[in-house]
């Protein structure tokens, strides 16, 4: 039992967790897709705040050295929540996922700019304390 005490003491000194943010992917514009095949070079990292129109990265073609690189831009502002690794990509591959904040009010549930009642029911189910899994309603 004494060997676990130093471990428990280090846990007590940790910083508190940041507040939880409810976020969602807001339609097709939340995703950045490859328009050509080539090697993807991202210009943003997961966790970065991005703006609509901001440079997202480039795709370098592998068909020939004379082919110009294709520049990609974010369609929507938000938080980069997912990114494809810098690797060979094909046209249509998802390269970035951008999420936006959703306001949670205890008196009204989940509200966002679309004010989607179906989404509010989903979030209320997700946040219900009796739920044992994210997959179970």
Burial class (CB in 10 A: 0-12, 13-18, 19+), 32: buried
Predicted local distance difference test score (pLDDT) of residue 94: 95
Residues 97 and 110 in one domain: no
Residues 32-53 have pLDDT tens digits of 999 999 999 999 999 999 999 9
Supply the range of the domain harboring residue 69. 20-101
Residues 80-127 have pLDDT tens digits of 999 998 889 999 999 999 999 987 766 555 555 445 555 544 444 444
- Is 73 within a domain? yes
- Is 6 within a domain? no
Pair of tokens at residue 123? 């979030």
Residues 54-66 have pLDDT tens digits of 999 999 998 877 8
Residues 88 and 113 in one domain: no
68/131: higher pLDDT = 68
Residues 114 and 96 in one domain: no
Distance CA 99, CA 78 (A): 5
- Is 9 within a domain? no
Q: Is the pLDDT of residue 70 over 80?
A: yes
Residues 74 and 137 in one domain: no
Distance CA 21, CA 30 (A): 17
Q: Full-prediction pTM beyond 0.85?
A: no
Predicted local distance difference test score (pLDDT) of residue 129: 42
133/59: higher pLDDT = 59
CA dihedral 52, 121, 116, 109 (to 10 degrees): -80
Predicted local distance difference test score (pLDDT) of residue 127: 43
Sign of CA dihedral 10, 11, 16, 19: positive
Residues 96 and 64 in one domain: yes
DSSP assignment letter at 12: H
């Amino acid at each position: 039992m004494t060997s676990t005490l130093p471990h428990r003491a280090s846990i007590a000194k940790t910083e508190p967790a940041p507040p939880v943010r409810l976020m969602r992917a807001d339609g097709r514009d939340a995703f950045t897709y490859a328009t050509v095949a080539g090697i993807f070079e991202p210009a943003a990292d997961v966790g970065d705040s991005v703006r609509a129109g901001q440079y997202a990265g480039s795709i370098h073609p592998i068909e020939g050295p004379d082919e110009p690189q294709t520049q990609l831009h974010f369609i929507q502002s938000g938080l980069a929540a997912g990114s494809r690794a810098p690797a060979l990509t094909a046209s249509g591959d998802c390269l970035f996922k951008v999420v936006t904040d959703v306001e949670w009010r205890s008196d009204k549930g989940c509200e966002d700019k679309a004010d989607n009642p179906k989404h509010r029911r989903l979030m209320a189910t997700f946040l219900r304390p009796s739920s044992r899994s994210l997959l179970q309603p």
